[in-house]
């Protein structure tokens, strides 16, 4: 995973194996994280090549 010059994330997609940009799809709000203080937090991104979800923790 790395940032390119436009600050987009680029990863090898686990679904299609393409090296592609990923776009945030579900990101928790900071206010909710502060209020509930979960032990683990996950983010969901969408692969720009195959449109499948990629879960990051």
Percent residues over pLDDT 90 in the chain: 81
Task: Domain of residue 20: give its range.
Answer: 2-56
Provide the b/e sequence for 13-45 (b: ≥16 CB within 10 Å): beeeeeebbbeeeeeeeeeeeeeeeeeeeeeeb
What is the number of structural domains in the chain?
1
- Residue with the bigger pLDDT between 49 and 57: it is 49
Q: Which of 18, 17, 16, 22 is nearest to 2 (CA)?
A: 22
Render pLDDT for 4-28 as a digit per residue (tens, 0 to 9).
445 678 999 999 999 999 999 999 9
pLDDT of residue 6: 53
pLDDT of res. 29: 95
């Amino acid at each position: 995973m790395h940032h390119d010059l436009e600050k987009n994330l680029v990863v090898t997609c686990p679904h299609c194996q393409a090296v592609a940009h990923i776009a945030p799809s579900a990101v928790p709000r900071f206010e909710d994280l502060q209020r509930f203080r979960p032990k683990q937090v996950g983010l969901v991104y969408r692969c720009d090549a195959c449109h499948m979800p990629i879960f990051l923790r």
